[in-house]
């Protein structure tokens, strides 16, 4: 909507961890009736940017619309964008319009699903909150010294970024699971080099943080520039001296030429006299020279030309030239060697397929098979650098342990496993996990842990447990326990005491789980006492007997329980309960005064009468 000022704009560059797409911007427009020749309208637009190496083909989102009081008045759910294939760092969606309520004043966006070329899918959640990537700090603001600023840019362009692909503009930073390159591009933490300029994060950040090193580089640059200037001065002086000597030499040669011309004139007269004496023998010699020139000198010249082509790395031309000599000298034998040298040249230039084809033409030459293996290894490495992990894996596996193939195979499985995990495909991730080394497995377990936490907090406990059961790294167990602890506390607060206690018992000595178990026993005891469930109350209070005030509560419950038993006619049980608190004055008075105890206990000798025990009573 270029002809209208937006009434609301999203902040630029909104992002959520793991999401392969940035919300680059968005706006809300009011279209007046006269512009539409009909009713007024309210439209929303959103622009996205792909920050994944895979090409995006579709995107699903939820759009929530709010009025001026920030009340949600409308929700557009599962809206699908069909994208005409958006590659890395390409934007899309800006031309798609969302008709919304005329009462709209703002909106928010949640990306729920991203589909890529092939069958790759990233799934998010409508509850994912996209946050604004903080505004980048420019190098001009961070490096007040202009000389150091220019030196940092020289170092970045000269030794970090690929030639001509990027200039340092911002301070390199880490943001969540992204790293932000000095060239301004956004990269995922798993990417070693910037997808835009090819620079790695650590060197550029290390140089920015190390002012001493930056100053040393600046001093070296200044020194080199001074040396260049001195060399230029010396070169100018040298050329001037050469020109002076050349002038002198030209004058000398002119004089010599004059003298030689005079001598030639004198000899010309003499030559005319002897011409006839030598002309016939010379004619015979010329004929012989022509024969030698045709049969040997011309082929030799072409042979040397073919050698010169080879020296200039014109391999195909050299092969054609040697072949055209029709066996002169060793020209036929030279052709396989030229092709071998061509293969070596192509291999050095990382033209692996072409090199393999050439070496296969001269497979009989010693070393050709080894060069083919080396070319296949280089091709696999290039696929790995390009993050084409499936292709790289197949190529390394075919090399049967050549060089560091086994190590790279583990790396491919690691990256493919992370990719499966990012798509919530645990089964696929585990297939690769089993084929990685211990360090990589620890890193994958960290991802499993994060995903498990996300599922658990989303209420998907069964799915979360599927991730947690593969976590054995001790450093990660506290994170898992923290989730269980959080859930147990929530259950406890919700009154689901038995479920909460079971989880605290599983947590063992994590945090204050043991104390929480005692709290639950106390709560259950209090609840039972309130319901006059004396047996349950006494049983639960047993677990917290050492707590302040519990002994008094137990004594009171035992007294009430004893009275209740007596009223039920269960005299002996009442006696046993009250006798256990016989020093408690109300219990003592009931024991010695109530006739039922005399009839059923003391007269029958079932138990002693505390009246004769000389007790010290307590209130």
Backbone φ and ψ for 88, nearest 5 degrees, come out as: -60, 130
Q: Which two tokens stand for residue 2?
A: 């270029």
Tokens of 362: 């001269």
The pLDDT value given to residue 1: 55
**Domain residue spans in the chain?**
8-132, 139-209, 215-312, 332-480, 512-612
pLDDT value, residue 283: 34
Provide the pLDDT for residue 127. Answer: 64
Cα 122 to Cα 104: distance, rounded to the nearest angstrom: 30
Residue 294 has a pLDDT of: 62
411 to 82, 193, 341, 376, 542: CA distances (angstroms): 34, 16, 33, 18, 57
Pairing status of strand 41-50 against strand 56-66 = unpaired
Cα distances (Å, whole numbers) of residue 301 to 314, 329, 338, 442, 533: 17, 12, 18, 67, 117
The closest of 41, 40, 101 to 73, measured between CA atoms, is 101
Whole-Å CA distances, 327 to 203, 334, 365: 57, 10, 20
Please provide the CATH number assigned to the domain covering 8-132.
Answer: 2.60.40
pLDDT of residue 280: 39
Instruction: Tell me the C-alpha to C-alpha distance, in Å, between residue 485 and each of 450, 475, 517, 524.
Output: 16, 17, 12, 20
Alpha-carbon torsion 573, 577, 580, 585, what sign? negative
For residue 275, the model assigns a pLDDT of 40
Angstrom distance (rounded) from CA 441 to CA 434: 8
- Kindly state the tokens that stand for 301: 């010249």
pLDDT along the chain (619 residues), means of 10: 80 90 93 73 93 93 93 93 89 91 93 92 78 90 91 92 87 93 91 92 94 93 91 87 86 85 77 50 43 71 90 92 90 91 94 94 92 95 95 94 94 94 94 94 93 91 90 90 92 95 93 95 95 95 94 95 96 95 95 95 94 89
Three-state SS letters, 479-492: HHHHHHHHHHHHHH
Strands 98-100 and 56-66: unpaired
């Amino acid at each position: 909507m270029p002809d209208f000022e937006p009434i609301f704009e999203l902040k630029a560059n909104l992002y959520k961890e793991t999401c392969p797409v940035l919300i680059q911007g968005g706006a809300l427009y009011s279209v007046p009736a006269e512009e539409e020749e009909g009713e007024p309208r309210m439209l929303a637009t959103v622009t996205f940017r792909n920050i994944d190496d895979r090409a995006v083909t579709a995107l699903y989102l939820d759009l929530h619309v709010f009025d001026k009081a920030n009340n949600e008045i409308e929700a557009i759910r599962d809206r699908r964008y069909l994208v005409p294939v958006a590659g890395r760092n390409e934007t899309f969606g800006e031309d798609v319009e969302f008709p919304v309520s005329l009462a709209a004043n703002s909106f928010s966006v949640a990306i729920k699903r991203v589909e890529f070329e092939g069958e790759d899918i990233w799934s998010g959640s409508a509850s994912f909150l996209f946050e604004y990537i903080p505004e980048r700090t420019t190098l001009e603001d961070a490096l007040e010294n202009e000389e150091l600023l220019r030196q940092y840019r020289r170092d970045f362009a000269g030794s970090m970024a690929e030639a001509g692909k990027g200039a340092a503009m911002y301070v390199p930073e880490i943001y969540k699971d992204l790293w932000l390159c000095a060239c301004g591009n956004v990269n995922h933490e798993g990417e070693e080099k910037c997808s835009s300029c090819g620079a790695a994060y650590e060197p550029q950040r290390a140089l920015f943080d190390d002012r001493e090193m930056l100053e040393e580089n600046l001093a070296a640059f200044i020194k080199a520039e001074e040396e260049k200037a001195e060399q230029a001065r010396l070169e100018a002086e040298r050329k001037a001296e050469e020109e002076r000597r050349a002038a002198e030499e030209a004058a000398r040669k002119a004089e010599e030429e004059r003298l030689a011309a005079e001598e030639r004139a004198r000899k010309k007269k003499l030559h005319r006299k002897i011409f006839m004496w030598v002309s016939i023998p010379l004619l015979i010699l010329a004929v012989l020279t022509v024969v030698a020139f045709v049969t040997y000198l011309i082929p030799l010249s072409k042979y040397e030309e073919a050698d010169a082509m080879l020296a200039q790395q014109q391999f195909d031309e050299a092969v054609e030239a040697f072949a055209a000599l029709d066996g002169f000298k060793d020209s036929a034998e030279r052709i396989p060697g030229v092709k071998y040298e061509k293969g070596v040249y192509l291999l050095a230039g990382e033209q692996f397929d072409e090199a393999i084809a050439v070496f296969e033409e001269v497979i009989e030459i010693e070393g050709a098979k080894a060069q083919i293996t080396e070319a296949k290894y280089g091709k696999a490495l290039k696929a790995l650098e390009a993050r084409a992990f499936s292709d790289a894996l197949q190529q390394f596996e075919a090399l049967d342990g050549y060089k560091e193939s086994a190590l790279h195979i583990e790396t491919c499985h690691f990256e493919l496993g992370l990719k499966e995990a990012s798509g919530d495909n645990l089964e696929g991730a585990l297939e690769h996990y089993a084929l990685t080394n211990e360090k990589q497995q620890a890193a994958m377990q960290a991802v499993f842990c994060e995903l498990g936490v996300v599922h658990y907090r989303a209420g998907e406990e069964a799915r979360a447990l599927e991730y947690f059961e593969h976590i054995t790294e001790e450093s990660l167990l506290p994170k898992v326990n923290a989730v269980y602890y959080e859930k147990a506390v929530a259950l406890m607060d919700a009154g689901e005491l038995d479920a909460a206690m079971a989880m605290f018992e599983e947590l063992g000595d994590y945090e204050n789980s043991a104390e929480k178990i005692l709290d639950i026993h106390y709560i259950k005891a209090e609840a039972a006492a309130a319901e006059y469930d004396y047996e349950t109350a006494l049983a639960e209070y047993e677990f917290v007997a050492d707590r302040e005030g519990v002994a008094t509560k137990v004594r009171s419950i035992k007294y009430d329980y004893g009275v209740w038993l007596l009223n039920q006619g269960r005299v002996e049980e009442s006696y046993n309960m009250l006798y256990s608190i016989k020093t408690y004055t109300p219990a003592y008075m009931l024991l010695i005064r109530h006739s039922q105890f005399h009839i059923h206990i003391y007269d029958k000798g079932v138990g002693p009468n505390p009246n004769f025990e000389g007790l010290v009573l307590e209130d």
